Every structure is written in structure tokens, then in C-alpha cells.
Amino acid sequence: MIETKKGQNLAEERIGIIFHGATGSLARRQHLGGLLALCREGGLPLSNGDRLMPDFLLVGRSEQRLSELGAETGLTRWTTDLDTALRSPEYTVFFDAAATGQRREVLTRAIAAGKHIYTEKPIAGSVEDAMRLVSAARKAGVLHGAVQDKLFLPGFGKLRELARDRFFGDILEVRIEMGQWVFDGTDQPAQRASWNYRKKDGGGLMLDMFPHWRYMIEGIVGPIRSINATCRTHVPRRIDEDGVPYDVDVEDSVFARMEIEGGAIASVNCSWCTRVRRDATIQMQIDGTKGSAVATPSACFVQTDTSTPRLGRSSDGAPKNPRDDWEELPIEGEPANSYRRGWELFLKHVAEGADFAPTLLEGAKDVQLAELGYRSNIERRWIDVPPL
């Protein structure tokens, strides 16, 4: 239900959103933070001149944490009872950012309640479960979408523009480097929650990050046709948030190659056991016949065919710094919350039928790449990516 309140010059339309997993860091800081900024600006402008104002029902497991979040944000409606939230007719959109291992069940219940679905990735733990969600959403006639936040980051957005403008010529190679050192909890607290390292809770670096690489590579370069992946568990024992040691039963590092339609090769190295010496924890490079580009979430650097130097030594005999011959592209406007941008598109999809590409089917493709990567690791071979 979208409620309308008329003003002198415009109408304010209210849209109710059930925010499941609201007290988690990702939901609280990124998703909710971006939407609350939108509310402070007067809501989302619609094509008819009205403004859409989100209204939140926070859902989580801890009354104390929900109360603290409510006090922090000024949001007064929250509950630990998901069933009660789903029965509320005034909240028509359901968002999930809770633990991955529970996502399929939670989304299934929300679809059965007739809610429009917007969800964090991965949307399920297997392709079979993901496609069941797709089928259920289609049958129920609800609108649905999966988060693709990284495409809206300024640096990666520039890469997308360059690819669309044929800056690269024929694309030859894509390289993604991602990771940092995650402490095991012995001398310093771990920066990532312990569930990320337990299979039963939906943990694993492949399932966590390869959905991102799927939509980034396909959204910027082209469809992935095959994958060859190797997984490793470099740190087999960690200490959880309560100081209790536990065994890690998922991978904490993945090294993969992918073949992209048109012949380009992608090399992807991900690790929670690496120390960073690059411009950001995530960096993506595209090399082509006409030029190359390197992007972080916030910046993009290019080097054209004509500006590519012969590396060697400068006139004074000192080694030349390869970074000196790259040009940084300007980023227009203020840096935007990439999660907010996805929300804006989805809310317009619900409110006025605007196009929205990253549906649950795209989320299922994300899960498919991770599943095929696991299979490649087990069988130690290339695996083709069939259409879904």
C-alpha cells in the first residue's frame, strides 16, 4: 500500500518497508543510513512531481539492540516478531539483510505474505533454492530485486561508462583483487562476524563475494561463460565474538579465472588472509587494445594506447614509476551511497512501474557462479556456465 497525503503543491506518498536484520552493520550503516538521508531530504522525487517517503518497521532478534537503533535513528516502530511484521498490511516491501543461512526461508515467508522483495546477496545457498524463490515471486505476482551496490560506486561506475563508450577497444583481460587481513581473534578482535567462517550459517568467501564479481563483470564487460576456481582455508581455527575458539569449515581465500563472452579472461583473487598494498581493498583493472583503466570504489585511472610509456629508467637513471603515466578521471558531484542508489531504483519500480533490471533471477545467477566455482574447485577443472 502506498498512502498519499496532499500538500499545497505536491503529494507525499508513504511506502512501508519491513527492515529485517535491521541491527546488523550492513543494514544499519549502509542501507538504513542511505534511506534515512533520503528521508531528511524530503523523500524520493517521482516522475509525477510527488515525493515518496519510506516508513520503516525494524525487525531483529534483540529488543535491546532494536531499542538502541530506534533511539539512534528516531524510528519508533520495531519488533522481534517477524510473523507480526509480515501480517501488517501497511508495510508492503520486505527487505532482508540478516544472516545468509536463513535468507531463503525468510524470503519465502515474505513472498507468501504478498510482500514485494528487495534483498541482500546471496539470495540463497544454492541455485535450486534461488530458482524456487524466483518461481515463488513470479507466481505470487510480487515485485522483486537483488542488491547490486558495487555498480553504483563512483570508480566502478566510471569503468562501466568507459566500456559503454568503447574506450578499451577489444577487451583482453579483467583483473579483480580483493581482500585484507582478518584477525583470527587471538591478539586482536576479528573484523568479520564468526558466521562468515561457518558453512551451516551461510559462510564462505566464494558464496559471499562471487555474487558481486558476477554482476560486476557481466554489468561492465559481458557474460561469463566458464570458471576455474581454487579455494583454500588458510586460517583453520578462529575465536568468535564470545572468546570461544571454533574450527573454520569454509574457504577464506579463492583464486579464480573466468572466460568472458568475446574472449576476454578475468583473473579474480580474493582473500581474507592478505595484507593490502594497493589503493583500496577492492581494485578492478580492464586492459584493452585501445586503453586500460584501473578503478577502486572511489576513483578511476586510465591510460590510452598513445599515452602508454616504455618502462625503464628516467634521464637521471632512476627507475620510472609506472603510476606516473596514468590519468585520474574526474568524479562528478558528491559521492553517493551506492546502496541508496539501488533503493531509489527499486522504490520507483514499486511506486510507478519504472524498469528494474537486477531481479531475483539476477540474484540466482550470482548464486550460480558461486556454486559452479565450488564445483570447479572440487573437480579441479573448468566448468561452463549454462543459462538460467
% of the chain with per-residue pLDDT over 70: 96
Position 2 scores a pLDDT of: 54
Indicate whether 192 and 63 sit together in one domain: no
Position 7 scores a pLDDT of: 47
User: In this structure, is residue 388 part of a structural domain?
Assistant: no
With beta carbons less than 8 A apart as the criterion, state whether 127 and 388 touch: yes
| Per-residue pLDDT tens over the stretch 49-108 | 999 999 999 999 999 999 999 999 999 999 999 999 999 999 999 999 998 889 999 999
Indicate whether 138 and 19 sit together in one domain: yes
**CB burial of residue 309 (10 Å; 0-12, 13-18, 19+):** exposed
Q: Which amino acid is at 52?
A: L
Q: Residue 104 belongs to what domain range?
A: 2-148+339-357
Position 160 scores a pLDDT of: 97
Indicate whether 25 and 166 sit together in one domain: no
**CB burial of residue 287 (10 Å; 0-12, 13-18, 19+):** middle
CA distances from 227 to 210, 231, 259, 263 (A): 11, 13, 7, 13
pLDDT at 360 over 90: yes
| Average pLDDT estimate for 355-382 | 98
Indicate whether 373 and 269 sit together in one domain: yes
Indicate whether 274 and 235 sit together in one domain: yes
Total Cβ atoms within 10 A of residue 311:
10
| Average pLDDT estimate for 336-351 | 95
User: In this structure, is residue 193 part of a structural domain?
Assistant: yes
Q: Give the domain CATH number at 68.
A: 3.40.50.720
With beta carbons less than 8 A apart as the criterion, state whether 258 and 268 touch: yes
Indicate whether 233 and 203 sit together in one domain: yes
With beta carbons less than 8 A apart as the criterion, state whether 166 and 207 touch: no
Position 310 scores a pLDDT of: 83
Position 315 scores a pLDDT of: 67
CA distances from 351 to 24, 129, 206, 338, 374 (A): 27, 28, 35, 20, 39
pLDDT at 233 over 50: yes
Position 368 scores a pLDDT of: 98
| Average pLDDT estimate for 138-155 | 97
Q: Give the domain CATH number at 170.
A: 3.30.360.10
User: In this structure, is residue 137 part of a structural domain?
Assistant: yes
Number of domains in the chain: 2
| Average pLDDT estimate for 356-360 | 97
| Average pLDDT estimate for 333-347 | 90
Burial state string for 18-42 with b = 16 or more CB within 10 A and e = fewer than 16: bbbbbbbeebbebbbebbbebbeee
pLDDT at 218 over 90: yes
| Average pLDDT estimate for 18-35 | 95
**CB burial of residue 175 (10 Å; 0-12, 13-18, 19+):** middle
Q: Which amino acid is at 60?
A: G
The pLDDT confidence band at residue 311, using thresholds 50, 70 and 90, is confident
C-alpha 131/C-alpha 119 separation (Å) is 15
Q: Which three cell numbers stand for residue 222?
A: 559481458
Position 8 scores a pLDDT of: 47
User: In this structure, is residue 109 part of a structural domain?
Assistant: yes
Indicate whether 127 and 205 sit together in one domain: no
pLDDT at 317 over 80: no
**CB burial of residue 70 (10 Å; 0-12, 13-18, 19+):** middle
pLDDT at 316 over 80: no
Position 9 scores a pLDDT of: 55
Indicate whether 268 and 127 sit together in one domain: no
Q: Which three cell numbers stand for residue 322?
A: 609506472
C-alpha 322/C-alpha 299 separation (Å) is 17
Position 10 scores a pLDDT of: 63
Q: Which of 69-83, 172-186, 278-292, 312-326 has the lowest mean pLDDT?
A: 312-326
User: In this structure, is residue 130 part of a structural domain?
Assistant: yes
Indicate whether 228 and 372 sit together in one domain: yes
Average pLDDT, the chain: 94
User: In this structure, is residue 310 part of a structural domain?
Assistant: yes
User: In this structure, is residue 104 part of a structural domain?
Assistant: yes
With beta carbons less than 8 A apart as the criterion, state whether 123 and 360 touch: yes
3-class DSSP string for the chain: CEEEEECCCCEEEEEEEEEECCCCHHHHHHHHHHHHHHHHCCCEECCCCCEEEEEEEEECCCHHHHHHHHHHHCCCCEECCHHHHHHCCCCCEEEECCCHHHHHHHHHHHHHCCCEEEECCCCCCCHHHHHHHHHHHHHHCCCEEECCHHHHCHHHHHHHHHHHCCCCCCEEEEEEEEECECCCCCCCCCCCCHHHHCHHHCCCHHHHHHHHHHHHHHHHCCCEEEEEEEEECCCCEEECCCCCEEECCCCCEEEEEEEECCCCEEEEEEECECCCCCCCCEEEEEEECCEEEEECCCCEEEEECCCCCCCCECCCCCECCHHHHCEECCCCCCCCCHHHHHHHHHHHHHHHCCCCCCCHHHHHHHHHHHHHHHHHHHHCCCEECCCC
pLDDT at 262 over 70: yes
Indicate whether 209 and 323 sit together in one domain: yes
The pLDDT confidence band at residue 11, using thresholds 50, 70 and 90, is confident
| Average pLDDT estimate for 229-251 | 97
| Average pLDDT estimate for 211-216 | 98
Q: Residues 6 or more apart from 349 whose CB is under 8 A from it?
A: 143, 145, 355, 356
Position 5 scores a pLDDT of: 55
| Average pLDDT estimate for 288-293 | 98
Indicate whether 213 and 275 sit together in one domain: yes
Position 367 scores a pLDDT of: 98
Indicate whether 267 and 348 sit together in one domain: no
C-alpha 345/C-alpha 354 separation (Å) is 8
